[in-house]
């Protein structure tokens, strides 16, 4: 049976997608340089699924290594998660972000082309909708960015479109994720950020666990029902299932498609805090702080294209997402080790 190469497969979304792929009887090969994850994630994926996976600790920027991986295996499609993802850090280290994300993708695409692999599912982001569109976001809206991280996603989408123009047998699905949170029900895999988290739910989780003192709510004067920012939070297991659908779609279709993976509903910061308090059974210490630069008031998906093309829709609500995040946090006080 042909194999799926998962780059960044030991990371947050990648590890959950590996579990879904194995549950759907795909054979997988994981490549990760462990810059933002741990090898222990491989054991956890194997434990949940009861199956073995082939793991390469390698950098996607390493052309020799990537070529060797393609030569050693029979890879029919790639799911490409590997990338750096911290918005603020990308402003401080633009060259690192452009090199890792864009050069890394170019090397991967070259290795794919030289080995006749023509299918790729790419981790794009709702960040490509920029500041000028209005929610709900539809895939035909113009894309733009406000920081180097966002530009890497906009540019990689363009590179992938161009590859489809030059090779009519190429099949690309760019999945634009909204705000992935939650964890696998087993509590064995979940989000395990290095250092102080930037994103809302990992931050709340550490306040709930007693590791951080207080959540800063970035702004309560937005034009939203309670004044705090509204986002489309999506359970990472729902998101992972969307990748299996995208792979099935790419097996049957050629050309480039961008597809939103979101629930189509927004929750405010205060609604997420309330859901987390319910999940962990204690109050989350918080204060209202100034707006965070670069944030918008409201961001949520029009999720109809994923339903039409893949028959996929998200199932979990915000309470379940927070309950699963808390379960993972409680069971892994020191992360995945």
Residues that bind ligand WQD (CB under 6 A): 85, 87, 125, 127, 179, 198-200, 203, 215-218, 229, 231, 269, 292, 295
Q: Using an 8 Å Cβ cutoff, are 332 and 192 in contact? A: yes
Contacts of 169 by beta carbon, 8 Å cutoff, 6+ apart: 118, 254
Distance of alpha carbon 81 from alpha carbon 261, whole angstroms: 15
Residue 11 touches ligand NAD, criterion: CB under 6 A:
yes
Contacted by 81, from ligand WQD, ligand NAD, none: CB < 5 to 8 Å by type: ligand NAD
Using CB under 6 A, count the residues that bind ligand NAD.
29
97 versus 310: smaller Cβ distance to ligand WQD: 97
Interacting residue with ligand NAD among 53, 82, 273, 306 (CB under 6 A): 82
Q: Which of 26, 56, 149, 276 is catalytic?
A: 149
Q: Using an 8 Å Cβ cutoff, are 120 and 160 in contact? A: yes
Beta strands in the chain (DSSP E): 3-7, 27-32, 54-57, 75-80, 119-125, 171-177, 179-181, 215-218, 230-231, 233-235, 255-261, 267-268, 286-289, 298-299
Residue closest to ligand WQD when measured from CB atoms: 229
Region from 30-38, 129-137, 245-253, 307-315 binding ligand NAD, contact rule CB under 6 A: 30-38
Distance of alpha carbon 303 from alpha carbon 121, whole angstroms: 18
Residue 332 touches ligand NAD, criterion: CB under 6 A:
no
In sequence order, what are the beta bridge partners of 268? 230
129 is catalytic: no
Q: Using an 8 Å Cβ cutoff, are 97 and 148 in contact? A: yes
Contacted by 122, from ligand WQD, ligand NAD, none: CB < 5 to 8 Å by type: none
Residue 125 touches ligand NAD, criterion: CB under 6 A:
yes
Region from 12-20, 128-136, 241-249, 304-312 binding ligand NAD, contact rule CB under 6 A: 12-20
Catalytic residues: 149
Give the footprint of ligand NAD on this chain (CB under 6 A).
7-8, 10-14, 31-37, 59-61, 81-85, 100, 104, 123, 125, 177, 179-180
């Amino acid at each position: 049976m042909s194999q799926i190469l998962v780059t960044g497969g030991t990371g947050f979304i990648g590890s959950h997608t590996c579990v879904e792929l194995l549950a759907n009887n795909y054979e997988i090969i994981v490549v990760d340089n462990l810059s933002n994850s741990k090898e222990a994630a491989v054991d956890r994926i194997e434990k949940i699924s009861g199956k073995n996976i082939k793991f390469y600790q390698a950098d996607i920027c390493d052309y020799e290594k990537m070529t060797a991986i393609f030569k050693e295996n029979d890879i029919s499609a790639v799911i490409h998660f590997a990338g750096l993802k911290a918005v603020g850090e990308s402003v401080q280290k633009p060259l690192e972000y452009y090199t890792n994300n864009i050069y890394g993708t170019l090397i991967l695409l070259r290795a794919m082309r030289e080995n006749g692999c023509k299918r790729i599912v790419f981790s794009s982001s709702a960040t490509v909708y920029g500041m000028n569109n209005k929610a709900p976001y539809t895939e035909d809206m113009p894309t733009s960015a406000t920081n180097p991280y966002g530009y890497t996603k906009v540019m990689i989408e363009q590179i992938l479109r161009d590859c489809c123009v030059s090779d009519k047998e190429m099949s690309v699905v760019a999945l634009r994720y909204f705000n992935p949170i939650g964890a696998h029900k087993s509590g064995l895999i979940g989000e395990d950020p290095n250092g102080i988290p930037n994103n809302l739910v990992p931050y709340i989780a550490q306040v709930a666990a007693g590791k951080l003192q207080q959540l800063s709510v970035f702004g309560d004067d937005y034009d939203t029902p309670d004044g705090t920012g509204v986002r489309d939070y999506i359970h990472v297991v729902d998101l992972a299932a969307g990748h299996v659908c995208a792979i099935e779609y790419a097996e049957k279709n050629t050309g480039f498609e961008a597809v939103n993976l979101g629930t189509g509903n927004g929750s405010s910061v205060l609604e997420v805090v309330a859901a987390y308090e319910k999940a962990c059974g204690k109050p989350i210490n918080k204060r209202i702080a100034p707006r965070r630069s670069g944030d918008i008031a409201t961001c949520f998906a029009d999720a109809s294209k994923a339903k039409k093309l893949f028959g996929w829709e998200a199932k979990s609500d915000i309470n379940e997402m927070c309950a699963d995040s808390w379960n993972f946090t409680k069971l892994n006080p020191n992360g995945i080790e």
